[in-house]
Amino acid sequence: MTTVKTIHTIPTGRTPMPEQAPQVRATNFEEVALGYTLPEALREADRCLECKKPRCIAGCPVGIDIPGFIRAIAQQDMRRAYEILRQDNPLPGVCGRVCPQESQCEVRCIVGIKAEPVCIGRLERFAADYAMAHFEAETPSMAPAGKKAAIIGSGPAGIACAADLARAGVDVTIFEALHMAGGVLKYGIPEFRLPKSIVDREIALLKQMGVTIELNTVIGKLFTIPQLMQEKGFDAVFVGTGAGFPKFQGIPGENLNGVFSANEFLTRVNLMRGFRHPEYDTPVGMGRQVAVIGAGNTAMDCARCALRMGAEAVTVVYRRTQKESPARAEELHHAMQEGIQFQWLTNPVQILGNADGWVSGMECIRMALGEPDASGRRAPVEQPGTNFVIPVDTVIYALGTRANPIIAKSTPGLKTNQWGYIELDEQTGMTSLPGVFAGGDIVTGSATVILALGAGRRAATGMLQYLGLRPAEASAEARAAKTGA
Amino acid sequence: MSTGYRIVKKEVYSSVTYMWEVEAPDVARAAQPGHFLMVRINEEGERIPLTVADFDRQRGTVTVVIQAVGKSTREMMALAEGDSILDFIGPLGEASHIQKRSKVILVGGGLGVAPVYPQLRAYKELGSTTLSIIGFRTKALVFWEEKFRAQSDELHIATDDGSYGHKGFVSQVLQMLLERHRDTEEVVAIGPLPMMRVCCDVSHPFGVRTMVSLNSIMVDGTGMCGSCRVTVGGKLKFACVDGPDFDGHQVDFDELMRRQRRFQREEQESLQQYEEECRLLGRTA
């Protein structure tokens, strides 16, 4: 290893990700991207220049030592690659699959200036999958710190917070409302993009670190936050309940039979395994001609699930253009490959129903992009006289979510903003209640898995300070805090 | 099943109606009249909303009354005392806002008799005069008569076929009581949607507030899926977090009854398949 790598010595093109063929995968729920083989991973790892001043790390909301783990892969020290990842990210197998690397670490990759950036996400996934297949998990032994923390919600924010606290010796209990741990990773993201077995094994590692997970526990109903702190002896609480309260548009016909929120549709398909009905009891109730409103990642998940559930035609309707679509480029690309149709610059005005109250069509209007609005994006403007009807029997709303009201309603003194999201003190990361912290979608509104992880880690830092414990890995924490958001 | 919630007592009220008393001390401690639960019996099971019919904080148990109408509820009926179910989640929803009324009429129809009971008891504890009406299709289906009698100043029983008590519907008895008791301050009506709707139609001209409990189709029961949405007073509400109790005079029952039929086809298929399996295995469905 004496030769210095330069942009001219490394393989130029990115190593392609092996995938199921679009026609095949559109009919099954198996994972679309198959993952690198060892030779593919080694080739791609070889493309990393191991920059002295890497820019990629600053793009990672949890501050993973990216050149470090890639170097370990190149040296075929997979155990170390995995350990480096796990230091900063309790969910590398998840993030390697669902992170928007193209707008985070990879967009800053120095190789990307002259050539295509290193496939950091694919390598992260490889290292995680390799470790899971080949190594026994090591259980780190921590000296008990004599403090108890409650985490509300077992989604990405809660998992990240729990991992950092457990590492510092805190006795951590996660309370999960549903019957399965993982939050949005379980109910939201479909099997073909994130197999549930990946989530389960990363959660199993969390349990090996000593974290207790209590399922079926709706905090705010079964116990309130004040009860957790006063009666159950928790010294600090983290609220990571997500923002899963579905939004509708408020147009006529939204309560017709055949209209779903994305949450309902995805929960029926994923969490309740409706795609295996009748083996599993929960029906999905989908028709044949499906419209999905919205063009984010959740919309793509709905559209692609609908296709796999046997829909004859699936149309995504979005009021702006493809360029403004919030979905990852890869998700859009995959959806298009699979045959999802797109109606850009189109907005629903009403959902039409038949005599029995079932959806029979969706009336839409064409839009044009006008002047930039407050957000700086060009605001879509209706084009009068362009109304038309899409013949559909199922409509799925994927327009994002709002804050769930249960925690706020049951926690006196917990300050929320006008949309119901929890307010934090910027210095300490604490809510208006002493010892109660929060992070993830319940603070920011709908965002990504990795941003929630970053928020969970920042909260853990604040909680450790609040509890008077020294953070276990001060440098990593500080890095996460600096680069997050 | 290593974990789970044990059915400590089971009573069968009819060929389709049964009661479970389930060991769930934390749920029993937090439960209030009006709350509901999400129940799932096994890995393949669906999450079913059931309204709390009773709770005993000393025993650490919660009681539900269930009607075997589909595959899951039939399967549940086949479970025995001592068996455990996988998930028993709650208490969910907003508890009933029970305040002292000088006189209140409580109406339970069929299975709805069960969730009316904790409200009746709460009103009685507050010192209200309680007039109860419980209705069933036929005498063989009657349950909890004595439980109701103990908490009611007047108890009226109605059966559709006249085999016991008044012949006819609970709504007819409600009409009679409202005429007789002009000082009634509140009506609580729980039962099948058509029954609740008729009770609301009956009480409306009297101007008496009428609370209903909506057991609409849900997946999570915590505000996430929106499957239970219902129009109340022209506004979109979620039965799981805004309800399940609502002012019945504001509820769009037409829409709700239509929405309750969303999964009829799949439910029918599941039931037929279950019955077929039971036949093949020589079990009674």
**Cross-chain Cβ contact B270/A283 below 8 Å:** yes
- Considering CB atoms only, which of A248, A250, A264 is closest to B219? A264
Per-residue pLDDT at A475 = 46
CA distance A101 to chain B (A): 28
Kindly tell me the burial class for residue B154, based on how many C-beta atoms sit within 10 Å of its own C-beta (0-12, 13-18, 19 or more): middle
Domain containing residue A343: CATH number? 3.50.50.60
Q: Which of A264, A354, A394 to mutate to test the interface with B (most CBs of B within 10 A)?
A: A264
**Sign of the CA dihedral running B25, B29, B31, B32:** positive
**Tell me: the pLDDT tens digits for A14-28?**
999 999 999 999 999
In 3D space, the residue among A61, A106, A66 whose CA is nearest the CA of residue A85 turns out to be A66
Confidence of residue A2 (pLDDT cuts 50, 70, 90): low
Query: Which of A218, A260, A293, A359 is the best mutation test for B, with the most CBs of B within 10 A?
Result: A218
The reply to whether A26 and A164 lie within a common domain is no
Q: Is residue A15, in this structure, part of any structural domain at all? A: no
Measured distance CA(A238)–CA(A44) in Å, rounded: 38
pLDDT of residue A481: 54
CB contact under 8 A, A278 and B219: no
Nearest Cα of chain A lies from the Cα of B18 at a distance, in angstroms, of 21
How many domains does the structure of chain A reveal?
Answer: 3
Q: Are residues A235 and A265 in the same domain?
A: no
By Cβ distance, the residue of A218, A261, A279 closest to B226 is: A261
For residue A409, the tally of other CB atoms under 10 A from its CB is 16
Backbone conformation region of residue B22, classed left if phi is above 0, alpha if psi is from -120 to 50, else beta: beta
pLDDT value of position B280: 85
Q: Residue B38: closest CA among chain A residues belongs to which residue?
A: A216
Residue A219, helix vs strand vs coil: strand
Domain map of chain B by residue range? 5-92, 96-206
DSSP labels for A33-64? B----HHHHHHHHTT----SS-STGGGSTT--
Instruction: Report the C-alpha gap between B220 and B242 in whole angstroms.
Output: 14
Interface residues from chain A to B (CB-CB < 8 Å): 177-179, 187, 215-216, 218, 221-223, 244-246, 248, 250, 254-255, 257-258, 260-261, 263-264, 267-268, 271-273, 277-285, 356-357, 404-406
Position B274 confidence tier, pLDDT thresholds 50, 70, 90: confident
Domain of residue A163: give its range: 148-244+403-466
Check whether residue A291 and residue A392 sit in a common domain.
yes
Check whether B284 has a pLDDT greater than 80.
Answer: no
Amino acid at B28: A
Residue A35 lies in a domain: yes
Contact (CB<8Å) A244/B47: no
CATH code for residues B96-206: 3.40.50.80
CA distance A397 to chain B (A): 11
CATH of the domain at A98: 1.10.1060.10
Residues A131 and A160 in one domain: no
Helix, strand, coil distribution of chain B in percent, nearest 5: 30, 30, 35
Is B263 in the A-facing interface, judged by CB distances under 8 Å? yes
Q: For residue B206, what is the DSSP state?
A: G
pLDDT band at B2 (very low <50, low <70, confident <90, very high): very low
Note which residues in 125-184 of chain B have CB less than 8 A from chain A: none
Q: Residue A268 and residue B47: Cα distance in Å, rounded?
A: 10
Once rounded to an integer, what is the mean pLDDT over residues A248-254?
95
Contacts of B150 (CB under 8 A, 6+ apart): none
Alpha-carbon span A347 to B6, nearest angstrom: 51
Cis amide leading into A278 (omega within 30): yes
The answer on pLDDT for A476 being more than 60 is no
Same domain, A276 and A397: yes
Q: Which H helix or E strand runs over A166?
A: helix A156-167
Out of A257, A281, A405, whose CB is closest to B223?
A: A405
Answer yes or no: is pLDDT of A362 > 50.
yes
Listed by number, the residues of chain B in 189-228 with a beta carbon closer than 8 Å to a beta carbon of chain A are 219-220, 222-227
Say yes or no: A112 and A133 in one domain: yes
Based on the domain organization, do A273 and A417 belong to the same domain? no
The Cα–Cα gap between A162 and A262 comes to 28
Measured CA to CA, the distance from residue B222 to residue B232 in angstroms comes to: 19
Same domain for A251 and A240?
Answer: no
Instruction: Kindly state whether residues A292 and A379 are assigned to the same domain.
Output: yes
The verdict on a CB contact (< 8 Å) between A281 and B44 is: yes
Closest CA to B237 of B216, B220, B258, B254: B216
Instruction: Looking at the complex, report in whole angstroms how far the Cα of residue A402 sits from the nearest Cα belonging to chain B.
Output: 10
In a domain, A471, yes or no: no
Facing A278 at nearest CB: one of B26, B229, B269: B269
B87 vs A: CB within 8 A: yes
Å from B138 to nearest chain A CA? 31
Taking only the tens place, the pLDDT of each residue in A345-360 is 999 999 999 999 999 9
Residue A272 sits in the same domain as residue A391? yes
Last residue of a domain, one of A138, A156, A172: A138
> Which range is least confidently modeled, A370-374, A393-397, B130-134?
A370-374
A150 sits in which H/E element: strand A148-152
Q: How many CB atoms lie within 10 A of CB B94?
A: 18
Per-residue pLDDT of A406-424, as tens digits, reads 999 999 999 999 999 999 9
What confidence tens digit (pLDDT) does each residue in A335-346 have?
A: 999 999 999 999
- On average, the pLDDT of chain A sits at 92
Query: A49-98 pLDDT, tens per residue?
Result: 999 899 999 999 999 999 999 999 999 999 999 999 999 999 999 999 99
Q: Do B266 and A255 touch (CB under 8 A)?
A: no
Closest residue on chain A to B28 (Cα) = A222
Model confidence at A141: pLDDT above 80: no
Instruction: For the beta carbon of residue A53, count every other beta carbon within 10 angstroms.
Output: 7
B150: how many CB neighbours lie within 10 A of its CB? 12
What residue of A is the nearest CA neighbor of B29?
A222
ipTM for the complex shown: 0.93
Out of 2.40.30.10, 1.50.10.20, 3.50.50.60, 3.40.50.2000, select the CATH number for domain B5-92.
Answer: 2.40.30.10
Burial classification of residue A58, based on how many CB atoms lie within 10 Å of its CB (0-12 exposed, 13-18 middle, 19 or more buried): middle
Q: Which residues in chain B touch residue A222, judged by CB atoms under 8 angstroms apart?
A: 26-27, 30, 90-91
Q: Residue B167: what residue type?
A: K
Which residue, among B178, B171, B175, B208, has the nearest Cα to B193 in the 3D structure? B171
In a domain, A8, yes or no: no
Verify that A134 and A232 share a domain, yes or no.
no
Q: Do A210 and A281 fall into the same domain? A: no
H or E element in which residue A84 lies: helix A78-88
